[in-house]
Amino acid sequence: MIAWLLLLAAAFTLSEACRAAVRDRRVNPPGREHGGSPSVRLLEAIGRAPAALLATRGVDLPPFRAGAIAVSGGLAVLTFAAIGGVSGVLTALAVAGFGGVYPALWSRAAAARRAERIERRVPELVELVASTVAAGVGLDASLRGAGEAVGGELGAELELAHANIALGRPRADELRDLAARTGSPSLAQLALTLRLSDRLGVPLAESLRRQADRARTQRARQVQERAAKAGPRVLVVVVFVLVPAALLPLVAAVLLTVAGSLSGL
């Protein structure tokens, strides 16, 4: 009886969550600039009402995390009602725990993907800055023009950095914070190169071109290392998945032939 009540409660909770998601989509339709995958937007829509309710009580919980906890809690109740016993309790706790840590895992993975996309465009940015500086353009104007030419997330970050510099923030501090904010080693190296050029008077254009070459070389080395690491994984998949799957029809035919021969005796 308790299991059926829990099952009904979980079904009611999930249905209300789906209705809340539909209402939220009507009020806040996703635009092109809205980030996140559809699953993330769905969890945010589900958790918006619980997060607002908790905010009135002094608990600051992002909608994404609140939605993940709510959905995982409902799935945990369903799991316990379906399995029951000690195994059901353990499985439900595992599901609920995964829902609690999923937003942090997703945010970390999204930050890593964003840093990878930015890092991929930095050599192009450095080449543009080097070319414009060699042509006699000022460094701040070169950074802004190169950021507009590169575009994307790196261009948006450079636009924010240029706005902060225009408000009076030192360029070296802003570029250092830009590298920390994006997680890009090449941008950190760019900030160091510009700082050394300001202090020591090192020719900037040639230093930037060398940095762009080093960044491309390092990027190519990273790609080769990833390819080398992927080789054993592909081999494992081929040996333990593809080869057995390819041999399965042959084994089945042999077994059927043997079974037919034995039945005819």
Cβ atoms of 129 and 208 within 8 Å: the answer is yes
Return the CATH number of the domain spanning residue range 115-220.
1.20.81
Task: Tell me which residues of the chain have a pLDDT lower than 70.
Answer: 1-37, 201-202, 262-265
pTM of model > 0.75: no
Give the pLDDT confidence score for residue 261 in this predicted structure.
Answer: 72
What local confidence, expressed as pLDDT, does residue 52 receive?
Answer: 82
Greatest alpha-carbon pair distance for the chain in Å reads 96
pLDDT digits 0-9 by tens, 239-253: 777 777 777 888 777
Domain ranges of the chain: 2-83, 115-220
Environment class of 105 (CB within 10 Å of its CB; exposed 0-12, middle 13-18, buried 19+): exposed
Residue 145, pLDDT score: 86
3-state secondary structure of 73: helix
Give the separation between CA 147 and CA 26, rounded to whole angstroms: 36
E strands, the chain, are none
The pLDDT value given to residue 213: 80
Considering Cα of 67, then 33, then 110, then 162, what sign does the dihedral take? negative
pLDDT score of 36 = 58
Assign 3-class secondary structure to 100-147.
HHHHHHHHHHHHHHHHHHHHHHHHHHHHHHHHHHHCCCCHHHHHHHHH
